[in-house]
Amino acid sequence: MQRLIPTLRQDQVDEALISVIHSLQITAKEISFRVGQGDLAGVLGSTLSENIQGETQKKLDILSNQLIKDILLECGHVRAVASEEEEGIVLGHENGEYLIAFDPLDGSSNIDINSMVGTIFSILPVPENNSGTADMFLQPGRNQVAAGYILYGPSIMMALTTGKGVKIFTLDQTVGEFLLTKRDLAIAPDTSEFAINMSNYRHWQEGMQLYVDDLLAGTSGQRSKNFNMRWVAAMVADVHRVLIRGGIFLYPWDARSIDKPYKLRLMYEGNPMAMLVEQAGGLAHSGDMAILDIQPTDIHQRVGIILGARNEVNACLGYLKASQ
């Protein structure tokens, strides 16, 4: 099996970008070790603090965030980093060519029950103005040069795209290397599996309610087809399932908070996952437009997410359009 770095070189990835991805694989090994230690290392449970999103931070959230920052900023090719956990960006090297936005530990509510969590990352080029401010990050997802996630589960996996399809690398603990285990992932255009948080049903717009109603109705409903629902409550795990065996993942608009009608963040979750899904032949949509075409206005901007099997995403969008 081929190692991560030789695979990237074979794909003719820029050496500076390879250096950044190498730093990310180092963070993955560090975080996976601490996740694996769990209560033995005293890293489970919540802190008394909240992040910029107003969410109570887990101990591993803080630890993972600091590890990723420290290791990435040691890389001379990193101009700045932006984390879901922090209000502003952190500057790196003035001549660095890349910006990295990341969710240090997605699904952290799963930590204390020993379920899957992961790190999501997005790599952008430094714009020409190189302003040294958060505005550098405000680029459409189409500008990403690489995106991926590291899944901390029964095995440690990295899903990665540099714009040439999606590959899966698995950490071989015996040699400490990520080895290529799947290449050219392809999401089937049709599916009978969906992932959504049904507890929010009463808050969705009518079109989304009608869409899910018809999924649940199965062969007795308008779709004339039975669907199964899966929900891990960690986007990284639910999207991983979509990439591996197909499906559709949805976290749509809801009416719980006028100020925050969406939960997931564009820069740290929406854009990197959308790039992976599109590279695997699927679609990624906000309900209004393709996620990768959105022009961000803030590094912590939130967005609706409908992604996965191409035909099923279009079917869902049809319900939303019909209800307008």
Paired tokens of 215: 């999924």
| Residue 106 marked ligand-binding | yes
Euclidean distance between CA atoms 68 and 65, whole angstroms: 5
Written as one letter, the residue type at 160 is L
Helical residues (DSSP H) of 146-285, grouped into ranges: 206-217, 235-245, 271-279
| Residue 108 marked ligand-binding | yes
Instruction: Give phi and psi for 40, each to the nearest 5.
Output: -60, -30
Euclidean distance between CA atoms 277 and 271, whole angstroms: 10
C-alpha closest to that of 306 among 282, 279, 324 = 282
| Residue 197 marked ligand-binding | yes
Contacts with 260 (C-beta within 8 Å, 6 or more apart), sequence order: 302
Euclidean distance between CA atoms 324 and 140, whole angstroms: 26
Euclidean distance between CA atoms 285 and 277, whole angstroms: 11
Cα dist from 6 to 236, 240, 280, whole Å: 26, 24, 22
Paired tokens of 153: 């589960």
The bridge status of strand 98-106 relative to strand 117-125 is antiparallel
| Residue 293 marked ligand-binding | no
| Residue 107 marked ligand-binding | yes
C-alpha closest to that of 65 among 49, 81, 46 = 81
| Residue 182 marked ligand-binding | no
Give the residue ranges of the annotated binding site for Mg(2+). 84, 103, 105-106, 269
Annotated binding-site ranges for substrate: 106-109, 197, 263
Annotated binding-site ranges: 84, 103, 105-109, 197, 263, 269
